[in-house]
Amino acid sequence: MAGDEEKLTIVMFPWLAFGHMIPNLELAKLIARKGHQVSFVSTPRNIQRLPKPSPNTLINFVKLPLPKIQNLPENAEATTDIPYDVVEHLKVAYDALQEPLKRFLESSKPDWLFYDFVPFWAGSIASKLGIKSAFTASALHPSRGS
């Protein structure tokens, strides 16, 4: 029956660039409109800067603070906050979110984890926890040599 579909819980974990976070948030809104619960995981400052969905939405924002990393400026939580040559340090900080993300997944027990291209490690964490996962390519990237 159409009205008796299973309601899912989904965690979304996009890369720390607004060209990735915004499309993932739009996808989260579409999923939530279908009645599924979505946890959108990002850093505190990025969540503060994202457009807020309507108050009655099934989206909740989960804040995972970035650790302090040498050569990453204070309050740098997205690619827009830093010059291109500092992005590698943002990636190092993002990789350090493996354990906090794992703890969140263990406690929330979602049905699915949707993750972006940078956290290559997210799928294996989900698999070890028995959580289905999907890679979400939210932005097109030119190939670097064929």
Q: Tell me: the pLDDT tens digits for 39-83?
A: 999 999 999 999 998 888 999 999 999 999 999 999 999 999 999
> 54 Cβ partners below 8 Å, 6+ apart?
none
What percent of the chain lies above the pLDDT cut of 70? 90
pLDDT band at 38 (very low <50, low <70, confident <90, very high): very high
Provide the residue ranges of all domains of the chain, joining segments of one domain with +. Answer: 2-135
As given in the structure block, the two tokens for residue 46 are 């990025």
pLDDT value of position 73: 96
Q: What CATH topology corresponds to 2-135? A: Rossmann fold (3.40.50)
The CA distance from 106 to 135, in Å, is 19
- Which residues are catalytic, by number? 20, 116
Beta-carbon count within 10 A of 135 CB: 13
Supply the pTM of this predicted model.
Answer: 0.89
Closest-CA residue to 14 (of 25, 1, 3): 25
pLDDT band at 127 (very low <50, low <70, confident <90, very high): very high
